[in-house]
Amino acid sequence: MLEITPIYNFNTINNGNNLSYARYNVGNDAISFSGRVGAEKFYKKGIEILIQETGLFRDWQTLLFVKNYIEKNFAGKSLIKIISGGCSTGEEAISISILLNHLKGKVKILGIDLSESAVNSANSRKFKFQNAKDAKYVSVDDVYTALKDRFLVFGTDRTLSADEKLQKELFDKFFDITDEKVPLIEQKLTLWQKLENFLAKNFMAKYKPMFCGTKIVKLKDGEINNCTFKVGDIRDIETLTNGEKSDVIFFKNAIYHMISDDVGANTFRVIKPNGESIAENIIKKLKNNLNENGLIVFGEEEVFQTGDKDLVPRVMKRLGFEPLNETEEHEANVWRKISL
Protein backbone atom coordinates (compact mmCIF):
# COMPACT_ATOMS: atom_id res chain seq x y z
CA MET A 1 0.00 0.00 0.00
CA LEU A 2 1.41 3.40 -0.94
CA GLU A 3 1.59 6.14 1.69
CA ILE A 4 -0.22 9.17 0.29
CA THR A 5 0.29 12.79 1.32
CA PRO A 6 -2.00 15.29 -0.46
CA ILE A 7 -0.31 18.45 -1.72
CA TYR A 8 -2.91 20.63 -3.42
CA ASN A 9 -5.64 20.75 -6.02
CA PHE A 10 -4.98 22.64 -9.23
CA ASN A 11 -6.93 23.03 -12.44
CA THR A 12 -5.24 23.87 -15.71
CA ILE A 13 -6.53 24.11 -19.25
CA ASN A 14 -3.47 22.27 -20.56
CA ASN A 15 -4.24 19.03 -18.78
CA GLY A 16 -7.96 18.83 -18.23
CA ASN A 17 -10.89 20.21 -16.34
CA ASN A 18 -10.44 18.11 -13.27
CA LEU A 19 -6.91 17.38 -12.14
CA SER A 20 -5.85 16.40 -8.68
CA TYR A 21 -2.21 16.35 -7.69
CA ALA A 22 -1.09 14.19 -4.79
CA ARG A 23 2.31 13.22 -3.48
CA TYR A 24 3.24 9.75 -2.41
CA ASN A 25 6.29 7.87 -1.25
CA VAL A 26 7.86 5.89 -4.05
CA GLY A 27 8.44 2.19 -3.45
CA ASN A 28 9.99 -0.44 -5.67
CA ASP A 29 6.65 -1.10 -7.39
CA ALA A 30 5.38 2.47 -7.25
CA ILE A 31 2.76 3.66 -9.68
CA SER A 32 4.03 6.64 -11.65
CA PHE A 33 1.40 8.96 -13.07
CA SER A 34 3.72 11.88 -13.79
CA GLY A 35 4.16 13.10 -17.34
CA ARG A 36 0.63 13.48 -18.65
CA VAL A 37 0.21 15.63 -21.75
CA GLY A 38 1.22 19.15 -20.74
CA ALA A 39 1.80 18.08 -17.14
CA GLU A 40 4.62 19.09 -14.87
CA LYS A 41 7.19 16.51 -13.88
CA PHE A 42 8.47 16.67 -10.36
CA TYR A 43 11.14 14.29 -9.12
CA LYS A 44 12.72 15.22 -5.81
CA LYS A 45 13.87 13.08 -2.91
CA GLY A 46 11.90 10.06 -4.05
CA ILE A 47 8.65 12.03 -4.47
CA GLU A 48 6.59 12.04 -7.65
CA ILE A 49 3.34 13.69 -8.63
CA LEU A 50 0.11 11.79 -9.08
CA ILE A 51 -1.93 13.46 -11.77
CA GLN A 52 -5.53 12.49 -12.31
CA GLU A 53 -7.49 13.46 -15.38
CA THR A 54 -11.18 12.89 -15.85
CA GLY A 55 -14.42 14.29 -17.24
CA LEU A 56 -18.15 13.66 -17.32
CA PHE A 57 -19.26 11.02 -19.85
CA ARG A 58 -15.66 10.31 -20.83
CA ASP A 59 -15.30 7.30 -23.18
CA TRP A 60 -18.97 7.67 -24.06
CA GLN A 61 -19.26 4.70 -26.41
CA THR A 62 -17.71 2.43 -23.79
CA LEU A 63 -20.15 3.70 -21.17
CA LEU A 64 -23.08 2.94 -23.48
CA PHE A 65 -21.71 -0.53 -24.25
CA VAL A 66 -21.38 -1.36 -20.56
CA LYS A 67 -24.83 0.10 -19.80
CA ASN A 68 -26.41 -2.15 -22.43
CA TYR A 69 -24.50 -5.20 -21.14
CA ILE A 70 -25.69 -4.55 -17.59
CA GLU A 71 -29.29 -4.14 -18.72
CA LYS A 72 -29.14 -7.38 -20.69
CA ASN A 73 -27.25 -9.55 -18.20
CA PHE A 74 -27.63 -8.13 -14.71
CA ALA A 75 -30.97 -6.32 -14.60
CA GLY A 76 -32.56 -9.34 -12.89
CA LYS A 77 -30.17 -9.12 -9.94
CA SER A 78 -31.31 -7.54 -6.69
CA LEU A 79 -28.04 -5.58 -6.47
CA ILE A 80 -25.48 -4.69 -9.17
CA LYS A 81 -22.07 -3.78 -7.77
CA ILE A 82 -19.67 -1.59 -9.75
CA ILE A 83 -16.10 -0.49 -8.96
CA SER A 84 -14.52 2.65 -10.41
CA GLY A 85 -10.78 2.14 -9.88
CA GLY A 86 -8.64 5.27 -10.17
CA CYS A 87 -11.89 7.22 -9.87
CA SER A 88 -10.21 10.63 -9.55
CA THR A 89 -12.77 13.28 -8.57
CA GLY A 90 -15.70 11.00 -9.27
CA GLU A 91 -16.98 11.99 -12.69
CA GLU A 92 -16.71 8.45 -14.08
CA ALA A 93 -18.70 6.88 -11.26
CA ILE A 94 -21.33 9.63 -11.44
CA SER A 95 -21.60 9.19 -15.23
CA ILE A 96 -22.20 5.45 -14.85
CA SER A 97 -24.81 6.07 -12.17
CA ILE A 98 -26.64 8.59 -14.36
CA LEU A 99 -26.83 6.14 -17.27
CA LEU A 100 -28.20 3.44 -14.94
CA ASN A 101 -30.50 5.77 -13.05
CA HIS A 102 -33.56 3.85 -14.28
CA LEU A 103 -32.37 0.86 -12.24
CA LYS A 104 -33.01 2.77 -9.02
CA GLY A 105 -32.06 0.96 -5.85
CA LYS A 106 -30.32 -1.85 -7.72
CA VAL A 107 -26.93 -0.27 -8.44
CA LYS A 108 -24.13 0.31 -5.91
CA ILE A 109 -20.93 2.04 -7.04
CA LEU A 110 -17.63 2.28 -5.15
CA GLY A 111 -14.96 4.71 -6.35
CA ILE A 112 -11.34 4.09 -5.30
CA ASP A 113 -8.47 6.54 -5.72
CA LEU A 114 -4.99 7.07 -4.28
CA SER A 115 -5.57 10.80 -3.78
CA GLU A 116 -7.32 11.89 -0.60
CA SER A 117 -8.03 15.32 -2.07
CA ALA A 118 -9.63 13.75 -5.15
CA VAL A 119 -11.82 11.49 -3.02
CA ASN A 120 -12.88 14.44 -0.85
CA SER A 121 -13.86 16.31 -4.01
CA ALA A 122 -15.83 13.31 -5.28
CA ASN A 123 -17.70 13.02 -1.99
CA SER A 124 -18.63 16.72 -2.15
CA ARG A 125 -20.63 16.04 -5.33
CA LYS A 126 -19.25 19.30 -6.72
CA PHE A 127 -17.17 19.56 -9.89
CA LYS A 128 -15.06 22.30 -11.43
CA PHE A 129 -15.26 23.25 -15.09
CA GLN A 130 -12.86 25.66 -16.77
CA ASN A 131 -13.12 27.68 -19.92
CA ALA A 132 -10.25 29.37 -21.75
CA LYS A 133 -10.72 33.00 -22.74
CA ASP A 134 -8.52 35.09 -25.01
CA ALA A 135 -6.66 31.97 -26.10
CA LYS A 136 -5.62 31.38 -29.66
CA TYR A 137 -6.14 27.63 -29.50
CA VAL A 138 -9.59 27.33 -27.92
CA SER A 139 -10.46 24.12 -29.82
CA VAL A 140 -8.38 22.12 -27.35
CA ASP A 141 -11.57 20.33 -26.23
CA ASP A 142 -11.56 18.60 -29.60
CA VAL A 143 -8.04 17.32 -28.95
CA TYR A 144 -7.81 16.21 -25.34
CA THR A 145 -10.35 13.65 -24.15
CA ALA A 146 -10.59 15.05 -20.66
CA LEU A 147 -11.64 18.46 -21.98
CA LYS A 148 -14.53 17.23 -24.07
CA ASP A 149 -17.10 17.90 -21.36
CA ARG A 150 -16.56 21.69 -21.19
CA PHE A 151 -19.43 22.36 -23.58
CA LEU A 152 -21.84 21.08 -20.92
CA VAL A 153 -21.26 24.22 -18.88
CA PHE A 154 -19.84 26.85 -21.22
CA GLY A 155 -21.46 25.90 -24.51
CA THR A 156 -19.67 25.84 -27.85
CA ASP A 157 -19.89 27.43 -31.29
CA ARG A 158 -19.73 24.08 -33.05
CA THR A 159 -22.73 21.90 -33.79
CA LEU A 160 -23.24 19.24 -31.14
CA SER A 161 -23.44 15.62 -32.20
CA ALA A 162 -26.44 13.49 -31.25
CA ASP A 163 -24.40 11.94 -28.43
CA GLU A 164 -23.37 15.35 -27.12
CA LYS A 165 -26.97 16.56 -27.19
CA LEU A 166 -27.95 13.59 -25.06
CA GLN A 167 -25.09 14.29 -22.68
CA LYS A 168 -26.25 17.90 -22.38
CA GLU A 169 -29.80 16.76 -21.60
CA LEU A 170 -28.50 14.45 -18.88
CA PHE A 171 -26.27 17.18 -17.48
CA ASP A 172 -29.15 19.65 -17.27
CA LYS A 173 -31.34 17.01 -15.61
CA PHE A 174 -28.90 16.04 -12.88
CA PHE A 175 -26.71 19.12 -12.28
CA ASP A 176 -27.06 22.73 -11.21
CA ILE A 177 -24.50 25.42 -11.98
CA THR A 178 -23.79 27.16 -8.67
CA ASP A 179 -23.19 30.85 -8.10
CA GLU A 180 -19.96 30.18 -6.21
CA LYS A 181 -17.33 32.72 -7.19
CA VAL A 182 -13.95 31.43 -8.30
CA PRO A 183 -11.13 33.86 -9.17
CA LEU A 184 -10.08 34.01 -12.82
CA ILE A 185 -6.96 31.90 -13.28
CA GLU A 186 -4.19 33.03 -15.61
CA GLN A 187 -2.42 30.10 -17.25
CA LYS A 188 0.98 31.66 -17.85
CA LEU A 189 3.24 30.75 -20.72
CA THR A 190 5.88 28.13 -20.13
CA LEU A 191 9.54 28.86 -20.83
CA TRP A 192 9.31 26.60 -23.88
CA GLN A 193 6.33 28.55 -25.22
CA LYS A 194 8.19 31.81 -24.67
CA LEU A 195 11.19 30.40 -26.52
CA GLU A 196 9.01 29.29 -29.43
CA ASN A 197 7.50 32.77 -29.58
CA PHE A 198 10.99 34.26 -29.65
CA LEU A 199 12.13 31.92 -32.41
CA ALA A 200 9.01 32.80 -34.37
CA LYS A 201 9.94 36.49 -33.96
CA ASN A 202 6.39 37.14 -32.86
CA PHE A 203 5.83 37.49 -29.15
CA MET A 204 2.02 37.37 -29.18
CA ALA A 205 0.68 35.54 -32.21
CA LYS A 206 1.74 31.96 -31.58
CA TYR A 207 0.94 31.60 -27.90
CA LYS A 208 -1.10 33.85 -25.66
CA PRO A 209 -1.67 33.61 -21.93
CA MET A 210 -4.94 31.84 -21.29
CA PHE A 211 -7.39 33.12 -18.70
CA CYS A 212 -9.43 30.29 -17.31
CA GLY A 213 -12.90 31.09 -16.04
CA THR A 214 -14.07 28.48 -13.55
CA LYS A 215 -17.62 27.43 -12.70
CA ILE A 216 -18.70 25.02 -9.99
CA VAL A 217 -21.51 22.57 -10.68
CA LYS A 218 -23.16 20.26 -8.18
CA LEU A 219 -25.49 17.32 -8.34
CA LYS A 220 -29.07 18.32 -7.66
CA ASP A 221 -30.38 17.46 -4.22
CA GLY A 222 -31.54 13.87 -3.96
CA GLU A 223 -29.82 12.75 -7.16
CA ILE A 224 -27.17 10.02 -7.40
CA ASN A 225 -26.94 8.72 -3.85
CA ASN A 226 -25.57 5.28 -4.77
CA CYS A 227 -21.89 6.27 -5.11
CA THR A 228 -19.34 5.94 -2.31
CA PHE A 229 -15.73 7.07 -2.63
CA LYS A 230 -12.73 5.79 -0.65
CA VAL A 231 -9.01 6.45 -0.58
CA GLY A 232 -7.24 3.27 -1.55
CA ASP A 233 -5.07 1.28 -3.92
CA ILE A 234 -6.74 -0.95 -6.51
CA ARG A 235 -4.30 -3.67 -5.47
CA ASP A 236 -6.10 -3.75 -2.11
CA ILE A 237 -9.48 -4.25 -3.74
CA GLU A 238 -10.44 -7.25 -1.62
CA THR A 239 -9.96 -5.27 1.60
CA LEU A 240 -11.69 -2.17 0.21
CA THR A 241 -14.74 -4.19 -0.82
CA ASN A 242 -14.77 -6.33 2.34
CA GLY A 243 -14.42 -9.36 0.11
CA GLU A 244 -17.72 -8.71 -1.70
CA LYS A 245 -17.58 -9.52 -5.39
CA SER A 246 -18.40 -6.98 -8.09
CA ASP A 247 -20.15 -7.18 -11.45
CA VAL A 248 -18.16 -4.49 -13.28
CA ILE A 249 -14.74 -3.02 -12.56
CA PHE A 250 -13.69 0.12 -14.41
CA PHE A 251 -9.92 0.61 -14.44
CA LYS A 252 -9.62 3.07 -17.27
CA ASN A 253 -6.40 4.70 -18.43
CA ALA A 254 -4.50 3.43 -15.44
CA ILE A 255 -2.90 0.05 -15.99
CA TYR A 256 -0.54 1.26 -18.70
CA HIS A 257 0.83 3.82 -16.22
CA MET A 258 1.77 0.97 -13.94
CA ILE A 259 3.58 -1.19 -16.47
CA SER A 260 5.59 1.38 -18.45
CA ASP A 261 8.53 3.62 -17.67
CA ASP A 262 6.84 6.88 -18.64
CA VAL A 263 3.20 7.92 -18.71
CA GLY A 264 3.42 11.07 -20.78
CA ALA A 265 2.77 11.42 -24.49
CA ASN A 266 6.05 9.68 -25.14
CA THR A 267 6.56 7.81 -28.39
CA PHE A 268 9.57 6.08 -26.86
CA ARG A 269 7.80 4.77 -23.76
CA VAL A 270 8.78 1.19 -23.05
CA ILE A 271 7.36 -1.56 -20.90
CA LYS A 272 9.09 -2.16 -17.57
CA PRO A 273 11.10 -5.41 -17.47
CA ASN A 274 8.49 -6.82 -15.09
CA GLY A 275 5.58 -5.04 -16.76
CA GLU A 276 3.75 -8.22 -17.72
CA SER A 277 3.97 -9.65 -14.22
CA ILE A 278 2.70 -6.33 -12.80
CA ALA A 279 -0.30 -6.47 -15.12
CA GLU A 280 -0.92 -10.13 -14.31
CA ASN A 281 -0.86 -9.53 -10.56
CA ILE A 282 -3.30 -6.62 -10.83
CA ILE A 283 -5.69 -8.41 -13.18
CA LYS A 284 -5.66 -11.53 -10.99
CA LYS A 285 -6.83 -9.43 -8.06
CA LEU A 286 -9.54 -7.81 -10.15
CA LYS A 287 -10.64 -11.21 -11.42
CA ASN A 288 -10.91 -12.59 -7.90
CA ASN A 289 -13.22 -9.70 -7.07
CA LEU A 290 -15.50 -10.32 -10.08
CA ASN A 291 -18.65 -12.38 -10.30
CA GLU A 292 -18.89 -14.83 -13.21
CA ASN A 293 -19.56 -12.98 -16.48
CA GLY A 294 -18.41 -9.80 -14.78
CA LEU A 295 -16.58 -7.11 -16.74
CA ILE A 296 -13.22 -5.38 -16.57
CA VAL A 297 -13.31 -2.11 -18.50
CA PHE A 298 -10.18 -0.29 -19.66
CA GLY A 299 -9.90 3.08 -21.37
CA GLU A 300 -10.65 3.37 -25.07
CA GLU A 301 -7.49 2.64 -27.07
CA GLU A 302 -5.60 2.25 -23.80
CA VAL A 303 -3.52 -0.62 -25.17
CA PHE A 304 -1.91 1.79 -27.63
CA GLN A 305 -0.35 3.75 -24.79
CA THR A 306 2.52 1.31 -24.41
CA GLY A 307 5.22 -0.15 -26.62
CA ASP A 308 3.65 -3.62 -26.45
CA LYS A 309 -0.01 -3.19 -27.40
CA ASP A 310 -0.59 -6.94 -27.07
CA LEU A 311 0.55 -7.18 -23.45
CA VAL A 312 -2.73 -6.50 -21.66
CA PRO A 313 -4.89 -8.52 -24.12
CA ARG A 314 -2.40 -11.38 -23.81
CA VAL A 315 -2.66 -11.36 -20.02
CA MET A 316 -6.44 -11.02 -20.09
CA LYS A 317 -6.85 -14.08 -22.32
CA ARG A 318 -4.40 -16.11 -20.29
CA LEU A 319 -6.30 -15.36 -17.08
CA GLY A 320 -9.70 -16.30 -18.46
CA PHE A 321 -11.26 -13.22 -20.04
CA GLU A 322 -12.79 -12.80 -23.47
CA PRO A 323 -12.96 -9.54 -25.45
CA LEU A 324 -16.46 -8.19 -26.04
CA ASN A 325 -16.08 -5.12 -28.22
CA GLU A 326 -13.10 -5.91 -30.44
CA THR A 327 -13.43 -4.72 -34.04
CA GLU A 328 -11.17 -4.31 -37.04
CA GLU A 329 -10.80 -0.65 -36.10
CA HIS A 330 -9.85 -0.99 -32.45
CA GLU A 331 -8.72 -3.41 -29.78
CA ALA A 332 -11.20 -4.53 -27.14
CA ASN A 333 -11.32 -2.51 -23.94
CA VAL A 334 -14.27 -4.38 -22.38
CA TRP A 335 -13.51 -7.92 -21.21
CA ARG A 336 -15.79 -10.58 -19.69
CA LYS A 337 -14.73 -13.09 -17.08
CA ILE A 338 -15.34 -16.65 -18.27
CA SER A 339 -14.74 -20.09 -16.83
CA LEU A 340 -11.56 -21.80 -18.00
pLDDT of 136 reads 37
The pTM score is 0.78
Please state, for a pLDDT cut of 90, what percent of the chain lies above it: 38
Residue pLDDT, tens place only, 279-302: 999 999 999 999 999 999 998 877
Residue 139 pLDDT: 36
Distance CA 55, CA 69 (A): 22
Residue 224: pLDDT above 80?
yes
Give the residues across from 23 on adjacent strands: 5, 49
Distances (CA, A) of 80 to 4, 70, 220, 247: 30, 8, 23, 6
- Rounded Cα distance between 37 and 42, Å, is 14
Q: Which amino acid is at 10?
A: F
Looking at the domain that runs over 57-122+223-337, which CATH code has it been given?
Answer: 3.40.50.150
Residue 74, judged by CB atoms within 10 A of its CB (0-12, 13-18, 19+), counts as: buried
Q: pLDDT tens digits for 1-32?
A: 333 333 323 233 233 333 333 333 333 333 33
pLDDT band at 64 (very low <50, low <70, confident <90, very high): very high
Q: Which of 33-47, 59-73, 112-126 has the lowest mean pLDDT?
A: 33-47
List where CATH 3.40.50.150 sits in the chain.
57-122+223-337
Return the pLDDT at 261: 64
Nearest in space to 90 (alpha carbons), one of 199, 162, 175, 202: 175
Compare 260 and 286 and report the one with higher pLDDT. Answer: 286
Confidence of residue 128 (pLDDT cuts 50, 70, 90): confident
State the pLDDT at residue 336. 97
What does the alpha-carbon distance between residue 55 and residue 94 come to, in Å, rounded to a whole number? 10
C-beta of residue 104 within 8 angstroms of C-beta of residue 80 = no
- Higher per-residue confidence, 269 vs 84: 84
3-state helix, strand, coil in the chain (%, to 5): 30, 25, 40
Structure confidence at residue 167 (pLDDT): 94
Look at residues 89, 69, 121 and name the one whose alpha carbon lies nearest to residue 297.
Answer: 69
